[in-house]
Amino acid sequence: MKLSLSVRIAESPKRKDVAAVPVETVAARAKAAGFDGLSMRASVVGIESAPSRVREVRTLLDQLDLQVSMVTGDLALAINNIDATRPLTNIAPYLDLAEALECDLVRVMMHHEDDIADARRAADAAAERGIRLSHQMHWGSLFETVDGALDILARINRRNFGVTYEPANMLACGEDYGPSAIERFSPYLFNVYFQNIRLDPTSPTTFATRRRGTVPVRFVPIGDRSAIDPRPLIEALARTGYDGWFSIHQPLIGDASVETAIAEVAAEFLPLIK
């Protein structure tokens, strides 16, 4: 497996479209800490970014020998609003961005049964360019449960359309996120996200799930193994032969600095992944 850091770690706590720390700093820190790549979001570059800025970011990553593990091409995908399915009906700009960043994985989102036909067409267009599409396990989408996700994946029936396994969202949706889920996902597993949460009825942070309604959750330090313990999950991934990206998708918590957060993530996951 290869270890990736989501640029979400440097986003403003209340603004997913604003980077609180420049990507130049984040990338250099990630490389020094031992990461292999960055998971890119629109807070750094997206489909509306100037081509010159996209080239600048790719040049920066080339200089640091960092790859882009996945592209989340717009803000709607990051916040999962009503426009999050838009890439399925106009996938070309997202594929263009991925190519410019030399990445073969693009994040998409599905909310309705009607999205299945659009997903097939988007996957076919992506396949012509050697790019894969991946749907994160995510509250408020068609991918809240293993059974639901596998049903949709089978109905899309495209080899380049798969899933990003993400245990925190599955926990909030009341789904078993353990090794058995990983084994069931293995034929479709394109990416892994990890963020650490616990269910907490006193938390003001909520996930608007379809399955369980509004679920209060609390983000906790990445190394808090009393919440989500990554060790059995990484062991299960290794048993299935997964050799793709393991991306840390953790936001900043409290008054932590980006520099401290990156160091903490590296200390926790480098011994487990490499």
Q: In the chain, where are the structural domains located?
A: 2-273
pLDDT, tens digit (0-9, with 9 covering 90-100), for 58-69: 999 999 999 999
As assigned by CATH, the class of the 2-273 domain is alpha beta
pLDDT tens sequence across 204-261: 999 999 999 999 999 999 999 999 999 999 999 999 999 999 999 999 888 888 999 9
Mean pLDDT of 45-74: 97
User: Which residues, 6 or more positions from 155, have their beta carbon under 8 angstroms from its beta carbon?
Assistant: 116
The per-residue pLDDT for 20 is 73
DSSP three-state, residue 16: strand
Q: Quick check: 16 and 43 in contact, CB under 8 A?
A: yes
* 3-state DSSP assignment of residue 84: coil
pLDDT 10s digits, 137-185: 999 999 999 999 999 999 999 999 999 999 999 999 999 999 999 999 9
Residues in Cβ contact with 196 at an 8 Å cutoff, skipping those fewer than 6 apart: 168, 219, 220, 221, 222, 223, 224, 227, 228, 250
Structure tokens at 192: 């892994």
User: Tokens 């926790």 belong to which residue?
Assistant: 268
- Give the contacts of 34 (CB within 8 A, at least 6 positions apart): 3, 266, 270, 274
Q: What percent of the chain has pLDDT over 90?
A: 93
Question: Residue 263 has what pLDDT?
Answer: 94
Mean pLDDT across the chain: 95
pLDDT of residue 17: 67
Distance CA 102, CA 205 (A): 35
| pTM confidence score | 0.95
